């Protein structure tokens, strides 16, 4: 995953024309998790999380085209209900989205844009016991997801975005132990609707 991320960064760097306009800022928003499970007993109810971190955008010398990237602390939660019990599982990670953006509008006054791109995640948490130590929720050390969404920028400073982030693989697994043997009980993907605001300096 780290090698893939390094290659992507190099590709973005070499693709940046010398006349590209660069802006940086701070982005924050909410995750409305949509957690899907596979082969897992019980159900997982989504809960609201958040994300925050620095962001940059490049406006290319091609009308309407740009690239943005961020480094975000991201928290997502879900409530697991099974066997008459409920526990909260939490995902904490650093997420690095790199999106291609196409927009149109009124110059520096306002812009409406659509965007899409990959997102690279690196887990900050560890394992958590659920159901009185009967099972263990394990997050993947890294994950890959994709974004697609729309947004608007006002006066080149304030930006609002709405997007769907979909996991392209397992986010985590649930393991249980029976007769001293560990067994995978199921897996889950942490997808999310995301709404955010960013301020560029």
Pairwise CA distance, residues 116 & 148, whole Å = 4
Helix residue ranges, H only, the chain? 2-15
Q: How confident is the model at residue 107 (pLDDT cuts 50, 70, 90)?
A: low
> Pairing mode, if any, of strands 181-200 and 21-38?
antiparallel
Local structure of 10: helix, strand or coil: helix
Pairwise CA distance, residues 102 & 99, whole Å = 10
Tokens of 57: 């955008």
Q: What is the pLDDT of residue 29?
A: 97
Structural domain that includes position 108: 2-200
Place of tokens 């994300």: 51
Q: Is the dihedral of CA 75, 44, 97, 100 positive or negative?
A: negative
Provide Rg for the chain, Cα atoms: 19
| CATH code for the domain of 95 | 2.40.160.20
Q: What is the pLDDT of residue 186?
A: 67
User: What spatial distance separates the first Cα and last Cα of the chain, rounded to whole Å?
Assistant: 31
Summarised one tens digit per residue, pLDDT across range 134-183 is: 556 677 788 899 999 999 999 889 999 999 999 998 877 766 655 555 55
Q: Is the pLDDT of residue 15 over 50?
A: no
Count of structural domains, the chain: 1
Pairwise CA distance, residues 115 & 62, whole Å = 15
Q: Is the pLDDT of residue 105 over 50?
A: yes
Q: Is 92 exposed, middle or buried (0-12, 13-18, 19+ CB in 10 A)?
A: middle
Closest alpha carbon to 173 in 132, 131, 128: 128
């Amino acid at each position: 995953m780290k090698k893939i991320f390094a290659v992507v960064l190099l590709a973005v760097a070499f693709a940046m024309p010398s006349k590209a306009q660069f802006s940086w800022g701070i982005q924050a928003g909410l995750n409305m998790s949509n957690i899907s499970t596979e082969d897992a007993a019980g159900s997982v109810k989504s809960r609201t999380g958040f994300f925050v971190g620095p962001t940059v955008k490049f406006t290319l010398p091609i009308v309407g085209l740009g690239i943005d990237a961020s480094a975000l602390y991201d928290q997502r939660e879900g409530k697991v209900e099974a066997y008459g019990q409920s526990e909260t599982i939490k995902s904490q990670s650093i997420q690095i989205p790199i999106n291609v953006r196409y927009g149109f509008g009124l110059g520096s006054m306002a812009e409406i844009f659509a965007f899409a791109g990959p997102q690279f995640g690196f887990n900050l948490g560890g394992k958590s016991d659920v159901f009185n130590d009967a099972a263990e929720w394990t997050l993947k050390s890294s994950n890959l997801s994709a974004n697609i969404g729309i947004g608007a920028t006002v006066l080149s400073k304030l930006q609002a975005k709405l997007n769907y982030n979909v996991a392209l693989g397992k986010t985590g697994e649930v393991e249980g132990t029976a007769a001293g043997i560990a067994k995978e009980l199921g897996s889950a993907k942490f997808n999310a609707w995301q709404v955010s605001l960013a301020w560029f300096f």
